[in-house]
Homo-oligomer: A and B are copies of this chain.
Amino acid sequence: MDQPNTQNNENISHPDSIHRVVFMPSGRRGEFPTDTTLLEAARALGVDLDSVCGGRAVCGRCQVQLSLGEFAKLQINSSVENLSAPSETEDRYRRIKGLKPDRRLGCQALLRGNVVIDVPADSQIHRQVVRKSADEIRNLQIDPVTKLYYVELPKPSMEDQRSDLDRIAGELEAAWGISNLDWSMAALTNLSPALRAGEVYGGEFKATVAVRDESEAIAVWPGFKERLLGIAFDVGTTTVAGHLCALDSGEVMASAGVMNPQIRFGEDLMSRISYLQQNEGSAPELTSAIREALRELTENLCAEAQVAADDVVEMTLVGNPTMHHLVLGIDPTQLGVEPFPLILDTGISVSAQQLGIPINPGGYGYFLPCIAGHVGADTAGVILSQAPHASEEMTLVIDVGTNAEIVLGHQDRLIACSSPTGPAFEGAQIECGQRAAPGAIERVRVDPKTLKPRFRVIGVDIWSDEPGFEEAISETGVTGICGSGIIEAVAELHLAGIVADTGRMQAKGLDVGDHPNFIARGRNFEYVLHKSGDRVIRVTPGDIRAIQLAKSACYSGTKLLMDKMGTSHVDRIFLAGAFGSHIDVTYAMAIGLIPDCDMDTVASAGNAAGTGARIALLSRSARAEIERVTSKVEKVETAIAEDFQEYFVAAINLPHASDPFPKLEAWLAERGLGKS
């Protein structure tokens, strides 16, 4: 093929043997000799046209459409005769695999005149994924780190005794321009059987090779293989979630979760680190436990999607620093001891075999980078998902859990810290607290006049004061209060005047003995949300204190970062994490968990850490991006920050005065709840 003339010389007349081609939507154009394939022309012009089989009419990825008509400005009259008629090969593809009537295979259609060619979205290598809801990934160009390459090779003969490796490496270079590949043992072990199993007809071997990062052949399959899979893992202290995705489209084929079996070593992070400190050399036990969970999850995901584990070649993983280190097999004990240094912070790829996870033996797991001793790969996932580093707006992202990981900043600067909220937001250390599960109270309203509550429980669509509620809850009962429920309860009790700004219960002149929702406890009292037989679901002074401590930790961490950034406002707030996504942001502000701001600037980010893991699964450049970004994030250590303790104490009270929370005040006024 001659070197194309890619300049836009509109006025030159063309000899019969040179034709002009314009590809849409890119508008790239050039001139090529008769019988150049559209795929060749697209490649020469750098047009984003996919092909996995290298132009052999096998993969059908290079489908294009002819645009018919007179394109005056381009001096092109694009007509059917200006492309070769479908070849026998193309007809066979159309017959066997199917092809829309107006589609042509770019590798088979030959230039015979000037044409305008449309490249449909599904034929582009870098497909766009457009975000539709919080848990979907942001607009992303899919570009997985591992890709497939189909090759056909002459079989060996006494005259051509090249080794199998030489043979396939030569063809990968000739057909795809890929050279100097390392070969994994997994791929080498399978090379000879794959070539010979794929020997379907004729004198050629046919096989598809998976190449990672343009540098390593990690797997090989007989014949033509169309699709690779990956799993994004989100390893939490309590639960482990996995999403099985198609690497070419981003489609989530299965999602599943299991409990983190490390729970037998301690409920929360600190108790697990204590276990490690008290039992020297026990880290491998915890590593085995979590890897076993990842194995189980992998098997479940593959079973659910009905795919072979061998097709899974990539994994990504997010988690807090302790989980991150333990999955890697690194003892994280020092993360519990001042000065809390990480052992490893950069992003790292580890072979699936080393991790003992039963995907393709040539596959890899990529661990997103950690940021600081308490700010882990989960926060890296949150950043990748919410992209504060790509925004001009001052963005605050809070991943609320047992610790709140807080990131503040914009495209020029990011600061992060971790603040010890404790487990109250997850329903732990709350008298009637429980995990978010059917039967748990998740929404609470308190009538400021009657001081009576109404509520909703998870799994039931109607409020407790609506008809049919008793029947609706007959199956689950009312079992407790989850994180969002306790927050709303505290906020509503405060708004109703039952709880003072200081957090102290005040009976507003009622005789608490008379009111069915108040139970006297010495000089204090508890507030009853629901009674059913012996079971009394109630809010205690201790619960209110726990929520105050948690929200104060969250708020003062944020305040610390805002001070450090030198800003007194934020443009956007994202609440991330299972709890953060579930909470009503109005009440988050009502208890003072987040700074005062317009309600419509606050949004749930869903499980942003997991979404970040999926982004890293689908995009090689996203990995480079998050490594670059995290290496520049400034870390603030709340434990030694001079002002933190002061902020923490100052933020203990529930928000009241209009001064620091004018926007909350306005919102309350709207609801007729303005406080004096």
Contact = CB atoms under 8 A, between A and B. Distances in A.
Given A328-B185, A350-B185, A353-B354, A161 B343 contact: no
B354 A185 contact: yes
Most buried by B among A160, A164, A328: A164
A191 interface: yes
Interface stretch (A97-105, A333-341, A430-438, A595-603): A333-341
Most buried by B among A162, A191, A193, A344: A344
20 contacts: A161-B339, A161-B342, A161-B372, A161-B637, A162-B341, A163-B342, A163-B344, A163-B370, A164-B342, A164-B343, A165-B344, A185-B329, A185-B350, A188-B330, A188-B343, A189-B328, A189-B329, A189-B331, A191-B344, A353-B354
A353 B185 CA distance: 12
A341 to B, nearest CB: 4
A192 B373 contact: no
Nearest to A355: B185
Interface string A547-576: 000000000000000000000000000000
B334 A192 contact: yes
A579 B654 CA distance: 92
B341 A163 contact: yes
Contacts of A183: 344, 348
Contact of A158 (B156, B331, B339, B370): B339
A362 to B, nearest CB: 11
A510 interface: no
B345 A166 contact: yes
A341 B372 contact: no
Interface string A162-195: 1111110000000000000001010011011100
A634 B185 CA distance: 27
A288 interface: no
Nearest 6 CB-CB pairings of A with B: A163-B342, A156-B341, A163-B345, A158-B339, A164-B343, A158-B640
A162 B334 CA distance: 13
A560 to B, nearest CB: 15
Contact of A341 (B161, B340, B345): B161
Interface string A344-358: 111010100110000
A278 interface: no
Nearest to A287: B189
Nearest to A165: B344
Given A156-B339, A163-B370, 8 more contacts: A161-B341, A161-B635, A164-B341, A165-B345, A167-B341, A188-B328, A188-B344, A188-B348
A343 B192 contact: yes
A157 B343 CA distance: 14
Contacts of A372: 161
Interface in A292-338: 328-331, 334, 338
Contacts of A163: 341-345, 370
A194 to B, nearest CB: 11
Copies of this chain in its oligomeric complex:
2
A157 B373 CA distance: 12
A162 B635 CA distance: 10
A639 B163 CA distance: 17
Given A185-B328, A328-B185, A158 B192 contact: no
Interface string A519-562: 00000000000000000000000000000000000000000000
A249 to B, nearest CB: 31
A8 B295 CA distance: 68
Interface in A223-259: none
Contacts of A354: 185, 353
Nearest to A635: B161
Contacts of A189: 328-331
Nearest to A345: B163
A189 B328 CA distance: 8
Contacts of A328: 185, 188-189
A343 B191 contact: yes
A331 to B, nearest CB: 6
A43 to B, nearest CB: 29
Contacts of A329: 185, 189
Contact of A193 (B166, B331, B350, B370): B331
A573 B413 CA distance: 72
Given A188-B328, A189-B329, A343 B165 contact: yes
B340 A161 contact: yes
A350 B186 CA distance: 11
Contacts of A353: 354
A80 B216 CA distance: 57
Nearest to A346: B165
A627 to B, nearest CB: 13
A356 to B, nearest CB: 12
A653 B555 CA distance: 99
A74 to B, nearest CB: 48
A563 B340 CA distance: 73
A675 to B, nearest CB: 41
Contacts of A341: 156, 161-164, 167
A139 B638 CA distance: 62
B635 A330 contact: no
A338 B158 contact: yes
Contacts of A639: 158
Contacts of A637: 158, 161
Nearest to A369: B163
A565 to B, nearest CB: 20
Interface in A129-173: 156-158, 160-167
A189 B344 CA distance: 10
A157 B339 CA distance: 5
Contacts of A161: 339-342, 372-373, 635, 637
A161 B339 CA distance: 6
Contacts of A345: 163, 165-166
Nearest to A162: B341
A454 B166 CA distance: 54
A373 B162 CA distance: 9
Contacts of A156: 339, 341
